[in-house]
Chain A
Amino acid sequence: MENKNWKAENSEKVLIKGNYAIAQAAINAGCEAYFGYPITPQTEIGEYLSAKMQELGRGYVCAESELAAINMVMGAVSTGAKAMTSSSSCAVALMQEALSYASANELPVVLVNVMRAGPGLGYIYPAQGDYNQAVTGGGNGDYKIIVLAPSTVQECIDYTYRAFYLAQKYRNPVIMLADGLLGQMMEPATFGNYPYPEVDTSQWALTGAKDRTSRAIYSCAPDEKKQIQRIYDLFKKFDVITENETSYEEFETEDADIILTAFGSMTRNIKAAMKVLREKGLKVGCFRPITLNPFPTKKIAELAQNVKNFIVVEMNMGQMFKDVKCAVNGLTKIDLINRPCGEWLSVEEIVSSVEKILEKNYAASV
């Protein structure tokens, strides 16, 4: 029973559910086709677009499976169109092969994953257990996906815009990694206008070979040298993405002894825990990667030089933990506060866990 009577006037603040916000942002970004299959907790994205895309004369297909959906997206984006799919955890697992192909073929696929609990079918409550699935990937071969992690409904809008832009700018698949909490909650947000320039796809898109030689996009590479070069090129491209697009937020890190790190909607909880711990006299800061891939390794390494302890807070068994640990590279202590899924770690739980960690690491000295 959500309020769908709101008008998406650009500057108006509207109370809107994360899933609807993502769907409307996709429309604003110029998404010309959506392909998907329902799954909680992201079904409202497809529900919303099933009506709107038809009204706008754009494409909407409720595919027979997630596997079909993402392959349809590959087909659509290979023509230079903006297209997307959305799904959740266990069904995103079905799309991994296609993500490998889309990376090899340099296709600007946009995928929104509204995470639920796994492994296996799991259940519909929120979780952050697909960090590895998004960042490391389950497809074959060497490839990298750009991964954006929103923490508010406003960021669901902003990063949907960014996902479409980055996908086309770099001809690389982009995943927006949200969670059931963000998908289901409502929060005031503003749509604004799609803030990015349109990307010229005319040099590679399959648009019919009228008045030009034909093109083909495929990943089969029987020529060993060419295949080797292709992978080098893909990774060179990702170096550029790392250089240009790595993004993060930091809060009160200047004087911090301890830095709490989280991604996605857990960011709000660590910021609130930071305030409580600061009031208790502890010098605590927060660091939050926005791009999970490329990961802000360099920045964390820099912060690690002046900090005593990194503490990673996440709703999984420590998936981002290993990337932070890798970035810290032995310079500081590093600990994990986590729960596998379900009810988000509360501010009080985070505060008391931090205190226990400090007691363990520094006895009475802190």
Chain B
Amino acid sequence: MEKNFILAGFGGQGILLAGTILANAFMLDGKNVTWYPCYGAEMRGGTVNCEIVVSDSEVSSVHKQDTDYALVLNQQSFDKFVNRVKSGGTIIANSTLVAKTEPRDDIKYVFAPMGDIANSLGTSKVTNSAALGVLASVCGIVSKDAIESALEKVLGEKKKELIPLNIKALEEGYNNLLQVS
């Protein structure tokens, strides 16, 4: 089994952090995993993305042309990555900022109001955690518990006070989709 994920959004939406948490979750699950960011002249407000590959054996190539899952938090990222999803793959979009369109008919679409979930908890800053919750329930290869443990590990002692709110967002994201389907 080898699956890859592209996570993308505005700079500042916490995409690289969400990717780091997801990659840690896979590591805690005992999988081989790589995390690779777009790097260079990126800026706040521009688009940012990272790519995660998880595998039972050694990760074959770290940076791939197409992806099994794309998690996109804004419209630009949806437009950019919808064509990078493999046929039969899934794009998971933040419907708070992404219009519900289906430009291809060979991939699956999941629209979830990740931004609204975060806002209902008092801050849009936890949109990334809500998104991870949605992703976990859609892809089924990483447990919510593993993501929770990874979140605690990554935020660590220094940002300990932020953990409960992020876990709440994660759970709401996870459950939101269950209610929809």
Interface residues of A (CB under 8 A from B): 1-3, 5, 13, 15, 40-41, 123-125, 152, 180-181, 184-188, 265, 268-269, 271-272, 343-344, 346-348
Contacts and interface: CB of A to CB of B under 8 A. Distances in A.
A187 B34 contact: yes
B60 A3 contact: no
Nearest to B21: A3
B27 A268 contact: no
A40 B27 contact: no
A268 B154 contact: no
Interface stretch (B61-69, B109-117, B131-139): B61-69
A269 B58 CA distance: 10
Contact of A343 (B37, B60, B65, B158): B65
Interface in B49-63: 58-63
Given A1-B20, A15-B20, A15-B27, A184 B157 contact: no
B156 interface: yes
Contacts of A271: 58, 60
A15 B20 CA distance: 8
Q: Interface residues of B toward A: which range?
A: 20 to 34
A270 B26 CA distance: 24
Nearest to B59: A268
A99 B110 CA distance: 55
B39 A344 contact: no
A344 B61 contact: yes
Interface string B148-160: 0000011111100
B156 A186 contact: no
B27 A188 contact: yes
Contacts of A180: 39
Contacts of A152: 58
A347 B33 contact: no
Interface hub of A185, A265, A271 (most chain B Cβ within 10 A): A185
Contacts of A184: 36-37, 39
A272 B34 contact: no
Given A271-B58, A272-B61, A1 B36 contact: no
Nearest to B32: A188
Contacts of A125: 40
Closest 7 CB pairs of A and B: A272-B60, A5-B156, A186-B35, A1-B16, A185-B36, A269-B61, A188-B27
A5 B160 CA distance: 12
